[in-house]
Structure 1
Amino acid sequence: MKYLTALFCSLCCLLAHGQTASADITVHKVLKLMGTRFEITVVAPNEEIGYINIDEAVSEIQRIEKIISSWDEESETALINRNAGIKPVKVSPELFNLIERSIRISEITDGAFDISFASIDHIWKFDGSMKMAPDDSDIKKSIAKIGYKKIELDPENSTVFLPERGMKIGFGAIGKGYAADRAKELLVSKEVKGGIINASGDLTTWGTKVTGEKWLVGITNPLNKKKAFGWLPIVESSVATSGNYEKYIELDGKRYSHIIDPRTGYPTTGINSVTIFAKQAELCDALATSVFILGKDVGLHLINQIDGVEAIIVDSENKIQKSTGIMFNTKK
């Protein structure tokens, strides 16, 4: 899962009260969508229009979920998975393009990001029941069907084929960011002046607060989620954070994150949280997980090579590592 500081939420609530600098107001709503917490904030001329805007964003997110959900048996994604090892499945251009982009991210991250990770056998348990690590042979078997290079795409016929029975794709590490982007695009097209869509930490913004100030995002302190390391103003940008501060296990004195490397089957170590900044929430979502898996050195090297993308890493010693373009205040 992805998390942003709860302090951000309190800022949104404060904005909902009267503003004297503008006739506009801020309307805010918290919902459960795609199985997780969504917070949608819009700048609107009045409360009624604000809630209409939010309802339109919700409808768009629900539309996306019906396409990419692997739990919905009628979704295109579920149909692809059911036909693994059987036949190619014709899909909508929207899903085909999302899969293409996902594979490109897999390529630039050397497989640290992989939508075929849904094929894994879940032998690691993060509910406190594990007392020792699984055997190496069991770990190797658990990832046998993972591999983005196996996914067969036919652009001419718009089909997707998973060649091995038991293969699956899933969009848990990119889907919420994609849905947030699409909802934002819809609201921008309807001339909503500004807002934030926060999909459980995959966050995208446009415009400004009703005061004209920039939206402000706090970087969560993994040792205390109610406090922030620092604050960054963001404009027309997106943010995503991956953290191990809620789901992890400790074995023989070593902490293992719930984030599993799809290439090895082992949980990641060495990082407490990764925050990614980019134009699209979809890219932030995917890269936050990828950098967590790649590690701070390789991860920052990758981010420093991608234009328009920045990262803040809090390592296992709670020290901050930053990409070259990051500057932020350590005070609220």
Structure 2
Amino acid sequence: MSLRHVPLIIFMAFLSAADVLAQVSQELEPPDNFQPQVFLTQEQALSEMFPDCDEILRDVIILTDEEKNALEERLKRKIYEQGFEVFIGKEEGEVQGYAIITEEVGKFHPFTFIVAVEPNGKIKDLAVLIYRESRGGDVARRRFLHQFIGKSVRSPVKINRDIINITGATMSVVTMCSGVKKVLGVVDEFYLSGKRGLENASPLVSKTSSQGSPALLKETRLIMGTYADISVYGSDRENAAQAIKEAFEEMERLDGLMSNYKSSSELSRINREASRAPTKCAPELLGVIEDSLDYSTLTEGAFDITVEPLVDKWGFYTGKVRVPNTDEIKSILPAVSYKNIDIQGQGDSKLIAFRHPGTKIDLGGIGKGYAADKAVEVLKRRGITSALVNLGGNIYALGRPPGASAWKIGVQHPRQRDFLLGYLELENKGVATSGDYERFFMIDGKRYSHIIDPRTGMPAQGLISVTVTADSAMEADALSTGAFILGPKRGAELLDGREGVGGIFACEGDGGEIGFTLTKSMNKLFKKELAVVEDNAETPELSFLK
């Protein structure tokens, strides 16, 4: 099979970092035990699931609150995904099956697997793509996976009932059973019930694709606590696949450098030591920190990587959210200031120190954008000229798809997640969105967002989302946070004053009405109307979700 095209309208990550972390065991595995095993790429997995199909379609389900609640009630478990990417195999026009690639957390780490379901509702096949635990890899073996084949949504699919356990991999077996039931439930609930047709599905793979034309390869992995998608067009499929592999490896490397969740990371070491004495810092990490300080100055402290103690106090790291009292916030605020970061020395002899013992750095507002940019650099070194990198909603659009004028990036409605406001047409641009709908909690009808104003210690008020385009994903990442905290007037002034930067600001009125403001440069990029796509156009198709 060869890839034809994917309707690359990127508008959300189905699973946020907070959702992933909420599933992970609080017990920490020693860093040297982390041994990810990559068995299959997405393309290889789909070929295994649909070996005789002449066409594979891709459909995207965005769950409404009602649908998510109904699915959770049916499955008797928490559903962390906001939606599902479903692949439909067809042969001579007839549906042969449905497949979903999903993630579940074993003892310490998530593992990725695909489940294919026949039109009669029984499991056709399944396979593990990536296993990240140091033990329990036998769950990827065919002799274990074979016992799932033929199961349906009415089967128990439970350990020691109809699924035999694997010694030393009990947690992975239990969560795989849960993931299999989840896929069976989704396929039955939406497709086998007749609730959802295939009118919104678009071709992903076709054996009738023209030879020699650039093919599109797309792969998804879990990195930095969120989903990372890389889509690449290339005539040399082997080179494109290797480029994607190396780009993911680059993002994994940066996670090991900049994570504040991994105790073994360079950033975690800095957070432990820099308040006691000046300490050396890896040059690359120091460069990101220095860039962050520049954005802090630019945004008058609205963007601040030292906000970590406040986010922690509000409970957004652990999921145990609460509203701190005024005295608690006041006691923390002295530790929260980019001016507490002291870079000493010159060149390779630079040291970093914190001027307050409670200061800690969190690069969550800039690190994913930086990692997306670095992944694009890897792709470029491999000769790739057309690609889309999406790391948890921090996106860089490299070049343009073959036959298209630009990559089309959907902008999600901040209050109706199954709707789009419109789409952006981007070429060699980064884009990121900050919004109060990403991570929040409600108390007495009031919404508390995870985007904390470092100057007040309270969640930022005045906007519900800001989407920023810039020449790099890192700049878009940092400025979307800064502009969100600054508010509509000062935020728009900030973006309008930056060359190559644009913004979309969304506000909510007292009656719940949503208003939108675009900066001058964004008017050229943002399209409110559905684009007309010729029937024979070899461009990514655009469709609004309703």
Q: Same fold (TM over 0.5)?
A: yes
1:310-330 superposed Cα distances (whole Å, 9 cap, x missing partner): 000111232111111122321
Q: Which 10-residue stretch deviates more, 240-249 or 296-305?
A: 240-249
Query: Superposition RMSD on alpha carbons, in Å?
Result: 2.5
SS at match of 2:521: coil
Classify 1:251/1:323 alpha carbon distance in 2 versus 1 (closer, same or farther; 3 Å).
same
In structure 2, the residue matched to 1:260 is 452
SS in 2 for 1:122: helix
Give, in angstroms, the shift of residue 252 of structure 1.
4.9
Structure 1 residues 246 and 307: alpha-carbon distance in aligned structure 2, compared to 1, 3 A threshold = closer
2:333 to 143, 157, 163: 143
The alignment of Structure 1 onto Structure 2 pairs a total of residues equal to 327
**Residue identity opposite 1:5 in structure 2:** F
Higher relative contact order, structure no. (Cα contacts within 8 Å, ≥ 6 residues apart): 1
Would you say 1:64 and 2:260 are equivalent positions?
no
1:249 Cα offset (Å): 3.3
Distance 1:211 1:87 in 2: 56
- Matches of 1:129 and 1:236 in 2, distance apart? 38
Quote the sequence identity (%): 33
Residue identity matched to 2:484: F
C-alpha contact (below 8 Å) 1:143/1:265 kept by paired residues: yes
Q: Provide the rounded CA distance (Å) in 2 between the counterparts of 1:235 and 1:306.
A: 18
Q: 5 Å matches for 1:161-310?
A: 161-310=353-502
Contact map agreement 1:22 1:211 (CA 8 A) in 2: no
Matched, 1:329 2:527: yes
Q: How does 1:26-65 map to 2 (within 5 A)?
A: 26-65=216-255
Deviation larger for 274-283 or 155-164: 155-164
Asked if structure 1 preserves the Cα contact closer than 8 Å seen for 2:212 and 2:235, the reply is: no
- State how far apart, in whole Å, the 1-side matches of 2:275 and 2:321 are: 34
Q: Deviations over 1:144-202 (max 9, x none)?
A: 31111111102422211113323211211100000000110111122112101101110
**Residue 231 of structure 1: CA displacement?**
1.4
Residue number among 205, 229, 247 corresponding to 1:17 in the alignment: 205
Classify 1:74/1:125 alpha carbon distance in 2 versus 1 (closer, same or farther; 3 Å).
closer
Contact 1:7 1:218 in 2 (8 A): no
Q: Hey, what's the Cα distance between the residues in 2 that align with 1:29 and 1:97?
A: 29
User: Contact (CA 8 Å) 1:276, 1:312: kept in 2 or not?
Assistant: yes
User: Measured at CA, do residues 195 and 155 of structure 1 come closer, stay the same or move farther in structure 2, by a change above 3 Å?
Assistant: farther
Cα contact 1:247–1:258 (8 A) shared by 2: yes
Q: Deviation of residue 71 (structure 1)?
A: 2.5
Tell me if the contact between 1:43 and 1:192 (Cα under 8 Å) persists in the aligned partners.
Answer: yes
C-alpha contact 1:84 1:166 (8 A) present in aligned 2? no
Give me the whole-angstrom Cα distance separating, in 1, the residues matched to 2:334 and 2:265. Answer: 25
Bigger mean CA deviation after superposition, 180-189 or 223-232? 223-232
- Deviation of 1:88 (Å): 1.4
Q: Which segment drifts farther, 41-50 or 191-200?
A: 41-50
What stretches of structure 1 of length at least 5 have no aligned partner? none
Q: Distance in 1 between matches of 2:300 and 2:422?
A: 31
The alpha-carbon distance between structure 1 residues 21 and 203, as it changes in their structure 2 partners (threshold 3 A), is farther
Q: With structure 1 as the length reference, what TM-score do the two structures score?
A: 0.90
Would you say the 8 A contact 2:307–2:452 is kept in 1? no
Instruction: Determine the C-alpha separation between the residues in 2 that align with 1:228 and 1:316.
Output: 16
Are residues 89 and 319 of structure 1, via their aligned partners in 2, closer, same or farther at CA, if it must alter by over 3 Å? same
Shift of 1:125: 4.8
